[in-house]
């Protein structure tokens, strides 16, 4: 009885372990929107970009208090010596009668604690404070643009892998159908050869084509495994990802080219980033020029320990101060020249980015149109290839065509199906690139909701 119970417990443990193992390797089905949400939650690149934005926001908030007074306490524990000579003047004869020398000599040496409370309020900084605040705000915009740029790069990679996996599945299904169709052709050729209606050469031709199709099928399996592993790694998943959003195409154009150009020049993350850098460089010039101007400030001091005060120390003081640097070892004119060159650099980079993005948007828009038109025009080719395969198979069984005609028809159909899936993939990826360049990649889901052509397995 004990042995039976032990065996039962062992089998139960194996079953539970198998269930856990199966659950661990079971694919996780995700739509594209779900995959994008998962990417935003797990991407280390986006986490780093978010941290950069938070850091720049903190610095910008810190710059808002630059006009507030600065309050500090200066505590000194010091040993000092004070020598004082006091001439008696007309009192010298009187003092001499009492053996008091003239001048009087005093010397004091002691330890003192000197805590002084100081407040300084900037009144005029020559423009340094507003320039620093504007530069800090521009740095936030720069970090936000860089975050958006990193996000769009990650989403674009997700589009390539997600729909790349769909393309690989489509190609695998086509390669499997081609292989199975050629296997049926081999079987038919064997029967016809036995009946004397086909030659050995035709049977060998069919076998060679079948073997080639098998190699293409195995290559398709490996391609699917590779891209599936890459997609799982991108989403930081320890399980395979099953993609549920199919390849899609919209029959109509996505809109006029000019709309995408205007959007790109206004909202592309690189344009926004360079604009923010240009403003920071402009504020940097203002900061350097402000160093040539005087600074005006109000101040106040209060002695927190008057008992230890020196004879020259005040109990309290307040007033207005003016500071102007006549000569500095930093060569301020050269610093201004360097800041101006940096401003010119950012402005030239911005102009170049405008030009490159204009070129890129036009090319990507045309590539998208080519993919769309190619996909739509392949429908007739596929229909013709299917009909041609049907006729060739009938004719072969009747001895009117050769085995090569059937093989060519089968391969032509398979090639057309793969080409159509490739065109849909190119459309989906190119659409994502166009939206990324125009700063509209967040609207990608809206486009495949409008799709009227989808490739389902």
pLDDT tens per residue, range 199-239: 888 888 888 888 998 999 999 999 999 999 999 999 999 88
Whole-number pLDDT of residue 91: 75
Flag the least confident range among 118-122, 152-156, 273-277, 402-406. 402-406
Whole-number pLDDT of residue 457: 65
Examine the pLDDT at 263 and tell me if it is beyond 90.
yes
Whole-number pLDDT of residue 395: 83
Domain membership of residue 428 (yes or no) is yes
More confident of the two residues 307 and 155: 155
Q: pLDDT confidence of 82, banded at 50, 70, 90? A: confident
Domain membership of residue 377 (yes or no) is yes
What mean pLDDT comes out for the span 88-105?
75
| Residue-wise pLDDT tens digits, 283-306 | 999 999 988 899 999 989 998 888
Q: What is the CATH number of the domain that holds 272?
A: 1.20.1600.10
Domain membership of residue 82 (yes or no) is no
Give the chain's domain count.
1
Q: pLDDT confidence of 7, banded at 50, 70, 90? A: very low
Domain membership of residue 236 (yes or no) is yes
| Residue-wise pLDDT tens digits, 406-433 | 787 888 888 899 999 999 999 999 999 9
State which residues form the domain around 281: 28-66+125-291+328-455
Domain membership of residue 397 (yes or no) is yes
Mean pLDDT of the chain, nearest integer: 86
What mean pLDDT comes out for the span 434-444?
91
Whole-number pLDDT of residue 2: 43
Share of the chain above pLDDT 70, in %: 94
pTM for this one? 0.80
Domain membership of residue 359 (yes or no) is yes
Rg (CA), the chain: 41
């Amino acid at each position: 009885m004990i042995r039976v119970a032990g065996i039962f417990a062992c089998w139960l443990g194996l079953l539970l372990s198998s269930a856990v193992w199966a659950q661990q390797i079971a694919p996780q089905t995700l739509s594209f929107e779900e995959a994008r949400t998962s990417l935003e939650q797990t991407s280390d690149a986006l986490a780093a970009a978010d941290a950069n934005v938070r850091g720049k926001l903190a610095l910008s908030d810190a710059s808002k208090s630059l006009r507030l007074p600065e309050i500090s306490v200066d505590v000194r524990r010091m040993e000092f010596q004070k020598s004082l000579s006091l001439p008696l003047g007309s009192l010298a004869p009187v003092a001499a009668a009492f053996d008091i020398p003239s001048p009087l000599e005093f010397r004091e040496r002691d330890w003192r604690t000197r805590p002084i409370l100081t407040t300084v309020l900037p009144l005029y900084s020559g423009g340094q404070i507003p320039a620093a605040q504007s530069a800090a705000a521009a740095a936030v915009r720069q970090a936000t643009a860089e975050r958006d740029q990193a996000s769009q790069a990650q989403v674009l990679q997700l589009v390539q892998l997600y729909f790349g996996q769909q393309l690989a599945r489509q190609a695998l299904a086509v390669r499997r159908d081609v292989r199975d169709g050629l296997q049926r052709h081999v079987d038919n050729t064997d029967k016809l050869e036995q009946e004397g209606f086909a030659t050995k050469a035709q049977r060998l031709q069919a076998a060679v084509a079948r073997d080639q199709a098998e190699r293409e099928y195995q290559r398709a399996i490996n391609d699917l495994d590779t891209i599936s592993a890459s997609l799982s790694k991108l989403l930081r998943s320890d399980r395979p990802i099953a993609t549920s959003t199919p390849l899609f195409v919209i029959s109509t154009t996505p809109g006029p080219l000019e709309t995408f150009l205007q959007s790109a020049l206004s909202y592309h993350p690189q344009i926004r980033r360079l604009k923010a850098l240009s403003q920071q460089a402009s504020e940097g010039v203002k900061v350097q020029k402000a160093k040539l101007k005087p600074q005006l400030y109000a101040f106040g001091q209060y002695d927190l320990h008057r008992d230890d005060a020196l004879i020259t120390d005040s109990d309290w003081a307040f007033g207005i101060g003016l500071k102007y640097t006549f000569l500095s070892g930093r060569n301020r004119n050269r610093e201004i020249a360097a800041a101006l060159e940096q401003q010119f650099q950012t402005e030239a980079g911005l102009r170049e980015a405008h030009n490159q993005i204009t070129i890129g948007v036009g090319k990507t828009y045309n590539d998208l149109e080519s993919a769309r038109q190619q996909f739509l025009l392949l429908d007739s080719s596929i229909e013709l290839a299917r009909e041609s395969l049907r006729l060739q198979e009938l004719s072969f069984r009747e001895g009117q065509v050769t085995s090569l005609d059937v093989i060519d028809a089968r391969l032509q159909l398979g090639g057309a199906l793969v080409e159509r899936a490739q065109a849909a993939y190119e459309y989906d990826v190119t659409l994502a690139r166009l939206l990324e360049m125009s700063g509209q990649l967040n609207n990608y889901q809206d486009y495949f909701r409008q799709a009227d052509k989808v490739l389902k397995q």
